[in-house]
Amino acid sequence: MTIIDMLERNAAEFASDVALVEINPGQAETRRLTWRDYDLVESEKKYFRREITWGVFNEKANRFANALIARGIKKGDKVAILLMNCIEWLPIYFGILKTGALAVPLNFRYSSDEIEYCLKLAECDALVFGPEFIGRVEDIVESISINRLLIFAGGQGCPTFAEDYNDMTLECSSQSPRVSLIEEDYAAIYFSSGTTGFPKAILHKHQSLTHSCKVEQNHHGQTKDDVFLCIPPLYHTGAKMHWFGSLLVGGKSVLLKGTRPEYVLDAVSKEKCTIVWLLVPWTQDILNALDSGEINKDDYELSQWRLMHIGAQPVPRSLIRRWKEYFPDHQYDTNYGLSESIGPGCVHLGVENIHKVGAIGKPGYGWEVKIVDENNNIVTPGEVGELCVKGPGVMTCYYNDEKATAASIKDGWLYTGDMAKEDEDGFIFLVDRKKDVIISGGENIYPVQIEDFLSAHEAISDVAVIGLPDERLGEISAAIIELKKGYTATEEEIREFCKGMPRYKRPYKIIFADVPRNPTGKIEKPRLREMYGGAQLVDAQNKS
């Protein structure tokens, strides 16, 4: 069974039951929905909600699949998705899979150059994009439109260089194209970057997707009556794979556009959500709002909310202790995973193990785990080594990158690059990342990209970017800048220069100091983290 079979089963058995709800608290309630309504002035903004049933979900996927097939998309092709979260996202994803093509979700934060790079690396035959990305796509349209179908999924305002999603699906059949698919067929390409620059393309089979459905349902016990609140972006394996638990049982899911504490609690209350996946910053914001009296828990109907779980970054013990003070009856789980292991769940804490908060947990359903030293020997409990995982959700390869694949997959084991240790009870704790990726608010930030950009400044001699602990975001980026002799620069000047980067890549902290390197020329980042990790530095958040 593939996830296509799961969708079609739900459409047959639960056709009139709600599958997806989209909520945008800043959307105009009284106006016809268009993608451009998001810019309404504050006085016009109201709570907006729309929903589709499993039957309509499946029909929309079928119409898009048939439209793509009519335009030459076939089994084995690749179709990229560049959309903000919306109710169309998942039907488009499944429409692509129904053709036998591979779905290729793209990070909505990508710059034009990154979009172009990913489309070419994954050898995409089509791109579906929303209105927020017209400018970025237009910047590279001459390059990416060659032998590639461009589809605008954004209502009114379709640019001349693209075909309109609504028009192309309007007259298409709502019946399944019945393309033969098995679990060994390729299904999707996701992107993940190391510390050395542009993203790598991660190839997964249908088996990976179906296994993630089983993992999620096994870990969190979803039933048909559960309602899942999904806040993170659907391009990310985390959000999608947690939603797969709802797909498996035919449960309702709510896509919330916005992370403010009152939005989250209001959605849980109005939609009777039972399961919510949060990131550390959002959890922190909810607790701070409750502590300050900005929101009152008693103003919401939350009695049905049974499970809160967190993934994508380390979880402080103190955060969960505070959470349990407000929500003592909640189950809690920590989820660890990578895009290379089809997202969260290869290791998880387990709702029965809240006494071990701080650990990432034990091997997930259907997964094996080992921790090895530099000679590939399994370490003893308490010793630090590299965490390796093995199971049906391990990627096939890094697409078009044999060298990176060989370095990461050995005898079926995925070498995660994360350093970990196991305690006497068999629980695994992350110690540090072998790679220097900074995880800030659940997003990966790649130091080398920032370092390369800053190196172009005329006053900078050397630069190192490291992650520093932050209570709300998990980590923040800090740039240690060594100036050239005879040159001066201020923090404000550096920040102005950094406006040439996407906002999320701009360093939160600027430190003017020497950049230490070892005899082989490598930056001594562990030393820098030790030097500055506890320092009282100028907090420059949101100055730009």
The pLDDT confidence band at residue 45, using thresholds 50, 70 and 90, is: very low
Query: Does residue 302 form part of some domain?
Result: no
CA gap 59, 19 in Å, rounded: 13
Q: Does position 34 have pLDDT exceeding 50, yes or no?
A: no
pLDDT in the model for residue 369 = 98
The pLDDT confidence band at residue 299, using thresholds 50, 70 and 90, is: very high
Compute the average pLDDT of residues 155-168. 93
Domain boundary among 407, 433, 459: 433
Q: Does position 394 have pLDDT exceeding 90, yes or no?
A: yes
Mean pLDDT of the chain: 89
Least confident window among 183-192, 344-353, 449-458? 449-458
Q: What percent of the chain has pLDDT over 70?
A: 91
pLDDT in the model for residue 474 = 87
Q: Does position 379 have pLDDT exceeding 80, yes or no?
A: yes
Do the Cβ atoms of 356 and 332 come closer than 8 Å? no
Query: Does residue 135 form part of some domain?
Result: yes
The answer to whether residues 407 and 463 belong to one domain is no
Containing structural domain, residue 161: 3-258
Q: Does position 539 have pLDDT exceeding 50, yes or no?
A: no
Q: Does position 361 have pLDDT exceeding 90, yes or no?
A: yes
The answer to whether residues 473 and 360 belong to one domain is no
Residue 372, domain CATH: 2.30.38.10
pLDDT in the model for residue 486 = 86
Which has the higher per-residue pLDDT, 258 or 198?
258
Q: Does position 25 have pLDDT exceeding 80, yes or no?
A: yes
Q: How many domains does the chain have?
A: 3
Query: Does residue 7 form part of some domain?
Result: yes
Q: Does position 256 have pLDDT exceeding 50, yes or no?
A: yes
pLDDT in the model for residue 543 = 36
The answer to whether residues 59 and 77 belong to one domain is yes
Query: Does residue 64 form part of some domain?
Result: yes
pLDDT in the model for residue 433 = 65
Domain boundary among 416, 433, 450: 433
Question: What SS3 state is found at 141?
Answer: helix
Q: Does position 23 have pLDDT exceeding 80, yes or no?
A: yes
The answer to whether residues 443 and 415 belong to one domain is no
Residue 247, domain CATH: 3.40.50.12780
Do the Cβ atoms of 82 and 106 come closer than 8 Å? yes
The answer to whether residues 418 and 453 belong to one domain is no
Strand partners, 465: 479
Do the Cβ atoms of 16 and 55 come closer than 8 Å? yes
CA gap 473, 486 in Å, rounded: 37
pLDDT in the model for residue 319 = 84
Compute the average pLDDT of residues 105-120. 93
The answer to whether residues 11 and 64 belong to one domain is yes
Q: What percent of the chain has pLDDT over 90?
A: 69
The answer to whether residues 46 and 32 belong to one domain is yes
482-514 burial code (b ≥16 CB/10 A, e <16):
ebeeeeebeeeebeebbeebeeebbbbbbbeee
The pLDDT confidence band at residue 101, using thresholds 50, 70 and 90, is: very high
The answer to whether residues 427 and 460 belong to one domain is no
Query: Does residue 301 form part of some domain?
Result: no
Do the Cβ atoms of 210 and 2 come closer than 8 Å? yes
CA gap 99, 86 in Å, rounded: 21
Domain boundary among 189, 224, 258: 258
Which has the higher per-residue pLDDT, 119 or 283?
119
Q: Does this model's pTM top 0.85? A: no
Which tokens hold the place of 301? 């109907």
Q: Does position 409 have pLDDT exceeding 90, yes or no?
A: yes
The answer to whether residues 225 and 316 belong to one domain is no
The answer to whether residues 246 and 331 belong to one domain is no
Q: Does position 162 have pLDDT exceeding 50, yes or no?
A: yes
pLDDT in the model for residue 63 = 98
pLDDT in the model for residue 314 = 67
The answer to whether residues 425 and 465 belong to one domain is no
The answer to whether residues 182 and 56 belong to one domain is yes
Q: Does position 74 have pLDDT exceeding 70, yes or no?
A: yes
Tell me the pairing of strands 509-512 and 474-483: parallel
Residue 474 has, within 13 A of its CA and on its CB side, a CA count of: 21
Strand partners, 334: 310
pLDDT in the model for residue 534 = 56
Tell me the pairing of strands 200-205 and 397-398: antiparallel
Query: Does residue 294 form part of some domain?
Result: no
Q: Does position 442 have pLDDT exceeding 60, yes or no?
A: yes
Residue 518, domain CATH: 3.30.300.30
